[in-house]
Amino acid sequence: MLPLKEKDRPIVKKLLEAGCCARCVLRFCCLGVQSAYRQSYEDTARELCAFVSDSENNESQDAAVLEQHKEDPPSKKMKMDAAKTDVHSEGDSAVVATVMEEGDAEPADSDVCVVCLGVLQQFCDEAYAIKISEVVKAKNYQFDTMVLSVSLPAQLSVREHSCWLHVKKEVREKSMCLDMDDVIQVKEAFKWTMQGLVSKELGGIPVVTKINRQTEQFEVGVGFTHPETDSDCHFLAGICSDCFRPTKNKQNVFTRMAVVKALEKVSDEKFLKKFPCPPTRPASKCIAQDVQCLHVSVFVAGRYNKFSRTLPQTPWVIDGERRMESSVEELIAAPLLSSFRAEGFNFSSSGREDVDVRTLGNGRPFALELLNPHRARFNKAEVRQLQETINQSSDKIRVRDLQIVSRDAMGHMKEGEEDKTKSYTALIWTQKAINKDDITFLEETKELKLAQKTPLRVLHRRPLAVRERVIHTMSTCFLDAHHFHLKLRTQAGTYPLHRTKRNSAIHQ
């Protein structure tokens, strides 16, 4: 039994007459009881018909009793009472005929709702739940809970606003304290109806309606379009043009947020001049889009050493031509993409080294964001095996401290990047013969500031600029009259010595 109150009767009647579906009627009555939306559409429509019919029958009976007291003898009065119970009046009860066909016990729900455009009529049943679950099962994701999200056409907001204005007068006359914000959203009603059905089809896996990134990491999205009524929003651009400014990333300026913002600004008078109230009935229902599955990203971090002088950190592509066979990020990412069954990745590191510079010491911190992974859970032993797989795949790199981390850890890796230091070692050859005393001044030089221009070799990916960097200390080791070792401790981001020299970066 629907928990409707006497004050809801005139609203229910007015909405049914306007062409609202049964579930939209419940929404406009601000009914927040989820179980009411989960019962079958036919049962809901039948109860609403009975709810309206009871009121009309009572009114008819009361009027008949008064009349009979005046004119009819008792025996005739009893006969008329019995007859009135089974007869619909032609006026107010016409609404019942719009939901219940004459002589038929089943609701005639083939007409498309003027507000939800069929979303709460045609797509809130077991058949659609089966379709959603079949897509999820076919994708073979690993998850414990699932978030159900829904995307609706922007014009639903316009039609809902129109229908609200239609019942607004009735609400005011009844002195009811209701506001548009009290109306249950189509999205909420859809989720309340479908989450139990989808959960059942997925073997009881919990289906929730709100995303908590800490606990719910797998999202299934359903979307709807309705080309027939796409133009419903267009009149708003003439009233609130500032809400519909085109941008590079927007293919359609009539987004739901833009429409809602415009509706908040437009007056009731202007709205009613441009849009019918109640909305006109559409000829077709919404079109369901493909079901989309998305798992939140998984982040894997660690440190890498690079031993090759012919290996760039990232793919080296200039003018569409690839210069090197592989890269550090590709050697690390390949085994991870396969194991996590991810659809892509984003590589990030604490700084970078040139293609001909080795990375030694403790290794350079890095992290990979694995996009839409179908598998997300790995224990420590499995992560160690992943690290070993990476290390065995190539002798050009080695990974250590591999682990699954949070998104926040990605930010921490970048913190203090400018304050970090690197140590470089270079073998220096001099054309002129030198002795040990000739190079002692290098060790006395501290905090040497450089005005560093963007090198030509990276201009294809970085803007031309001058950046200040610091060489903190230098130390030397005299070898012979033409050779010595030079060790430098520099600010992170200081470019190494001339790229034709052999040098190595030792990451601290």
Cα 425–Cα 430–Cα 436 angle in degrees, nearest 5:
75
DSSP 100: B
Residue 491 is encoded by which pair of tokens? Answer: 């600010």
Residue 241 is encoded by which pair of tokens? Answer: 């043009």
- Residue 173's contacts (CB-CB under 8 Å, 6 or more residues apart) are none
Is 354 annotated in the active site? yes
d(CA 99, CA 89): 16
Ordered alpha helix ranges (H), 210-322: 235-239, 256-265, 268-274
Say how many residues make up the chain.
508
In one-letter notation, the amino acid at residue 145 is T
Angle between the N-to-C axes of helices 155-173 and 9-18, in degrees from 0 to 180, rounded to the nearest 10: 140
Nearest one of 292, 162, 166, 168 to 229, comparing CA atoms: 162
Nearest one of 147, 49, 170, 168 to 98, comparing CA atoms: 49
Residue 194 and residue 124 in contact, taking contact as beta carbons nearer than 8 Å: yes
Residue 290 and residue 221 in contact, taking contact as beta carbons nearer than 8 Å: no
d(CA 89, CA 97): 11
Residue 233 and residue 259 in contact, taking contact as beta carbons nearer than 8 Å: yes
Residue 507 and residue 363 in contact, taking contact as beta carbons nearer than 8 Å: yes
User: Which one is catalytic: 125, 354, 356, 438?
Assistant: 354
Cα–chain-centroid distance for residue 407?
Answer: 16
Residue 128 and residue 200 in contact, taking contact as beta carbons nearer than 8 Å: no
d(CA 189, CA 146): 18
Active site members: 354
